[in-house]
A and B are shown apart, each in its own frame.
Chain A
Amino acid sequence: MDSLQSYLTIAAMLFSMGIYGVVTRKNAIAILMGIELILNSANINFIAFNRFGGMQNLDGHVFSIFVIVLAAAEAAVALAIVINLFKNVGSVDVDGADLLKG
């Protein structure tokens, strides 16, 4: 049952849901969570290909490590921004941050 396709399918599902979460949710932190989902799906893809792709060394794993590290850094900075936003505006509702409105 654990063929390449199934892992990829899982990753696809995660990805779609992540996209949905990013686009749909009003709370900034909820959006962050959606982004985490997307990153995870990418990770699953990397690892799955590393196992099923016939590679000699563990390139996929290394990539995955990098992705995780990046996710951490990004989450830290994003949360700092959200905190700032909360301090300035009073809520983390992204609909309120519409200063770019044309």
Chain B
Amino acid sequence: MAEYLFLFMAALVIASAFWVVFSPNLIHSAVSLLFTLFGTAGLYVFLYADFIAATQIVIYVGGILVLIIFGVMLTSKIDSPSIASSSANQFIGGMGAFAIFVMQVAVIFNTPWNIGSEQSRDATVGSIGKLLLTDYLLPFEIISILLLAALMGAALLSRRN
């Protein structure tokens, strides 16, 4: 049962991603992105990353994706423009992307991964919290400052002059 679910999740992710980049319609791309993010969250669950899955949905879907859709709304023309790029670019880009994929796959399947022991399926929130405030305190603080900067930046950039 779990296997089929996993496969479903994987297919969802990949298909949605596919439609994100290949769709001529921007709204379709955005909605596909939604599904991709959902699928990814599902994959996180399979990877016993419960907190991350939730965070993904809350922040990515609820925040970023909404933002993107706002952007789409604000900037698209009423009559949907052509958003496909030139064919030459497509070809070369496609080739490049495919090559990258092939390389990565080659690496993935040729490297003798050091598979560790089976892990416990505890709740991760506590551990993450603990880690954030002990081992990763500095990055945590810096991230906060970065968020502040982003906030200020975004606000500044979208000022009405």
Direct A/B contact, Cβ within 8 angstroms: yes
Interface residues of A (CB under 8 A from B): 1-2, 4-10, 12-21, 23-30, 32-34, 36-37, 40, 43-44, 47-48, 50-55, 57-59, 61-62, 64-66, 68-77, 79-84, 86, 91-93
**A10 and B14 contact, CB distance less than 8 A:** yes
Residues of A within 8 A of B29 (CB): 30, 33
Interface of B is mostly: helix
| Contact-size category for B | 35 or more
> CA of A24 to CA of B29 in the docked complex: distance in angstroms?
14
**A72 and B21 contact, CB distance less than 8 A:** no
**A58 and B83 contact, CB distance less than 8 A:** no
Contact of A17 among B20, B72, B155 (CB under 8 A): B20
State how many angstroms separate the Cβ of B136 from the closest Cβ of chain A. 5
**A6 and B10 contact, CB distance less than 8 A:** yes
Residues of A within 8 A of B21 (CB): 17-18, 20-21, 24-25, 30, 33-34, 37
State how many angstroms separate the Cβ of A101 from the closest Cβ of chain B. 16
